[in-house]
Amino acid sequence: MKKLTLIVLTLSLGLAHTSFSGIIKSKEANNPNAVEVTIHSDVDIYGVQFDLDYDNNYLALTEGQITSLVNSADVYSKIIEPGKARVIMFSMQGDKIMNSTDDISSVININFDTTEGLSNSNVSISNLILAGANGVSVDCERDATFDVNFMPEVTSLEKNYPNPFNPSTTIPFNITQAGNVTLSVYDMSGSLVKTLTSDYKEAGSYKVIWNGLNNDGQQVASGQYILKMSAPNYSNTLQMTFIK
């Protein structure tokens, strides 16, 4: 599993509703697993509460992966059961979460863990409650389902973590074009140490783990190593440090 700019949702709104929530892909570069919860309202918003429903066959989530995008407001969340979380957001100082003049404002980031190669999935917001000034309830569309695109927008080799590492490190990577993908580890002299993966992959987000062993199953010496990734129309390297 892996630990989601364009709006990727369609809302069916009744004319009586002036406020609603949405989900867009994260504006954070090269993070296809994160989404941002957005709020639209024609009045100032001071509090938000909703239930988040997602397909736990393909998506996983912890409370620490639901965070505030508003400096003055905090998010409090609870995983009720696999596939459902309850989220509450407000400011202890009584500050606004969003200003009515902002039109649409991103307020919460949700960083899913996803099944490797997942392209899209449904994420729903239900039982939405928006609070205006003095806690007055704001009329809003309470339930909506979104088809979220989890595909990466660029092919990339991400930084491994941890680094330096012992005994193992995780290497995330994204590919936008299906084809043969190779990740190999070399020592500083350029000699091949370990082939981590070399096979055909569909477009999507992936990660591999290097446990500090070479192709013969022997532990490598402490020091710096070069990881090279080759994919369709893409090649890149990064430096990793193994310590005993």
User: Domain residue spans in the chain?
Assistant: 20-149, 156-242
Task: Tell me the pTM.
Answer: 0.74
Please work out, in degrees rounded to the nearest 5, the angle formed at the alpha carbon of residue 49 by the alpha carbons of 44 and 51: 140
Domain 156-242 has CATH 2.60.40.4070: yes
pLDDT band at 4 (very low <50, low <70, confident <90, very high): very low
210-213 CB contacts, 8 Å cutoff, 24+ apart: 210/160, 210/168, 210/169, 210/171, 210/185, 210/240, 211/167, 211/168, 212/165, 212/166, 212/167, 212/168, 212/242
pLDDT band at 36 (very low <50, low <70, confident <90, very high): very high
More confident site: 135 or 2: 135
User: Can you read off the two tokens belonging to residue 135?
Assistant: 């806690």
pLDDT value, residue 29: 64
Is the pLDDT score of 150 beyond 50? yes
pLDDT value, residue 13: 33
pLDDT value, residue 119: 83
Q: Nearest CA to 109 among 69, 145, 74, 147?
A: 69
CATH for 20-149 is 2.60.40.680
Mean pLDDT of the chain: 90
The Cα–Cα gap between 128 and 53 comes to 12
pLDDT value, residue 5: 31
Q: What pLDDT, in 10s, does the model give residues 215-243?
A: 999 999 999 999 999 999 999 999 999 99
Are 20-149 and 156-242 equal in CATH topology?
Answer: yes
